[in-house]
Structure 1
Amino acid sequence: MHESLPATGRQYEIAFGDARAVVTEVGAALRAFEVGGVPYVETYDADRLPPGAAGAVLVPWPNRVGGGRWRLDGKPQQLALTEPARHNAIHGLLRHTAWTLMEHSGSAVVLRAMVCAQPGWPVPLLTSIRYSLDERGLTVAHTVENPGARPVPFGLGVHPYPRAGHAETDECALRLAAATVLPVDAERLLPARPPRALAGDEVDFRTGRRLAGVLLDTAFGGAAPAPDDPEQLVRHRLTDPAGHGVELWAEPVFRWVQVYTADDFPGRGRAVAIEPMTCPPDALNSGTDLIVLRPAETWHATWGLRPF
């Protein structure tokens, strides 16, 4: 008899004290994170694909590649157009892949997947992800290895929808540790001009702004730790009216963050994705902040979620 699995595959639950998280086999996505029964990411049913790429791991590129076209060592490449309405390739190659379970303890789970050589991406990459819980919250550690014979450029991002407990999204304030915004064209959401400095306008979230009435599908750059931050972490925050909420922290290599407001998240309506990224949209073409791995080289980076 075959095992009956939901659309997102096996569900790997981890726990520490009264904290709990659920990670999916398909896509290695974060499907739930809660503390004491209070949710700190938007969740969804295991038997449906992640709505709006919720919790997805975006590798070997985050966001969009215009026309799915880019060049490797001067040779043109054509990726599948996974955002056909805008004629783009979007969010990498592993969102719908079944990741291999490597470890699963009470408070941690490790999954691994291979980005195989394929049309549009002729070089392999091996990636793993470790989700762990402790007294401070959720930590997510990424590793990317180059098992091939030539250097490989890549970027990495993630697509969580943090939530400030039971508060409605529009009641909450968003604060971003970002210094610039990347103008994009309205039709395809690809970079139209160089990043510009934030200057107190409607997309400036450096000091926090309430999300009611805000519509975003916007890339912000210059994300960096505060000068006096003892941990030297990039910190984005979603705060409810009582001053509680969730912090998405990241190592400084995540110098970009995409913010997307959804109006139709299942069972929730308004929701906000805060997506730390190592590079901006269409970086495979611009080269901006791409990471290049030499053969046998390994790269590591970490981010996480902390309720407050």
Structure 2
Amino acid sequence: MNEPIAATGRQFEITHGAARAVVTEVGAALRVFEIDGVPYSETYDPDERPPAGAGAVLVPWPNRVTDGRWSLEGQPQQLALTEPDKHNAIHGLLRHTPWTVTEHADTTVVMQAMVPVQPGWPVPLLTSIGYTLTSDGLTVTHTVENLGSRAVPFGVGVHPYPRAGNAETDDCTLRLSASSVLPVDAERLLPARPPRPLEGDEQDFRSGRLLAGVELDTAFGGAEPAPDDPQRLVRHRLTDPSGRGVEVWADPVFGWVQVHTPAEFPGRGRAVAIEPMTCPPDALNSGTDLVVLSAGECWTAEWGLRPLT
């Protein structure tokens, strides 16, 4: 008799010294990242569906597509409305798909999935994600390959919930590299106006803001490396009152970041998602910052979590 498996499928653990991460088979989601037992991302039970999109991999688009509609070379496309209450398609096509492990070593797990041709998506893609623990934290590597015969635009996003150790979320300070914000409508969370600069704005997090009393489900743009950053990485930080915490770093192609502050993350209460994205909400319609892959072309980019101690 087969043993039952978790709702999120098999669990793949990797370790490096005192660091430990766990990735799920379903959705290839990051479920655990901790060092010496101290959490640097929110976690959940493997028999739960990932709460509030925790750890999700968002391919071939992050965030929302208005009415699930877009067009490719003038051909209308209709995606399934996976956010039916808002009449949107949301967060890509692979959140509930079992991924195949192609490599699993002590410090690394690499998983692969196909986006097949289907209603609303006419070009097949092969995508992989690799999680690697090092002495500096967790590095996540994405690849997307166009298996079709024509070019296709796409975007990539991820949905981690970084955590500044055992500190309460409301006691933490959020710093973002982003220099603009995308206004959205209140009902469907879709772009309502062009991005606006954040100079002197209450949503300007570049110098850091305490999260107490802050409620966000907001896309920020203009995320760029600091001029003096030798690694040329985008960096967002969540820190406790002592300055300890976690950094979400990303390649410059992740020029957008969605920040969400749910009030009731299971077992935690207030939490904060800091979600690197290559493009903004509804990019399949606006075209803003989409990556275009020619037939046979392969794309790769990285982001990661680095403890600040």
Normalising by structure 2, we get a TM-score of: 0.99
Output one character per residue of 1:249-277: Cα deviation in whole Å (capped at 9) or x when no partner.
Answer: 00000000000000010000100000000
Q: Which amino acid aligns with 2:265?
A: F
Q: CA deviation at 1:122?
A: 1.5
Give the corresponding residue for 1:306. Answer: 306
Amino acid at match of 1:105: A
Counterpart-to-counterpart distance in 1, 2:296 and 2:68: 27
In structure 1, the residue matched to 2:54 is 54
Match of 1:275 in 2: 275
Aligned residues: percent identity? 75
Q: Distance in 1 between matches of 2:240 and 2:69?
A: 41
Partner amino acid for 1:187? E
State the one-letter code of the partner of 1:267. G
Partner AA of 1:298 in structure 2: C
Q: Which residue of 2 aligns with 1:78?
A: 78
Q: Which residue of 1 aligns with 2:95?
A: 95
Deviations 1:8-56 (A, max 9, x none): 0000000000000000000000000001110000000000110001000
1:222-268 per-position Cα deviation (integer Å, ceiling 9, x unaligned): 00000000100000000001110000000000000000000010000
Question: Which AA in structure 2 matches 1:250?
Answer: A
TM-score (norm 1): 0.99
Q: Which residue of 2 aligns with 1:43?
A: 43
Partners of 1:42 and 1:67 in 2: CA distance: 31
Moved over 4 A (4+): none
**2:266 is the alignment partner of 1:266:** yes
Matched letter for residue 271 of structure 1 = A
In structure 1, how many angstroms separate the alpha carbons of the residues matched to 2:152 and 2:78? Answer: 16
* Residue aligned with 1:52, SS: helix
- Counterpart contact for 2:148–2:295, Cα < 8 Å: yes
Q: What is the aligned-residue RMSD (CA, Å)?
A: 0.6
Name 1:229's counterpart in structure 2. Answer: 229
Distance 2:236 2:249 in 1: 6
Taking the aligned partners of 1:69 and 1:295, their CA distance within structure 2 comes to 23
8 Å Cα contact 2:123/2:147 also seen in 1: no
Question: What is aligned with 2:217?
Answer: 217
Residue deviations 1:79-101 (CA, integer Å, cap 9, x gap): 11111111100000000000001
Partner residue in 2 for 1:186: 186
How far has the Cα of 1:4 moved from its partner? 1.5
What's the offset of the Cα at 1:200?
Answer: 2.1
* Partner SS state of residue 33, structure 1: strand
Output one character per residue of 1:251-306: Cα deviation in whole Å (capped at 9) or x when no partner.
Answer: 00000000000001000010000000000000000000000100110000000000
Flag structure 1 segments of 5+ consecutive residues without an equivalent: none
Per-residue deviation at 1:73? 1.1
Distance 1:125 1:221 in 2: 26
Amino acid in the other structure paired with 1:75: Q
SS at match of 1:259: strand
* Aligned residue in 2 for 1:126: 126
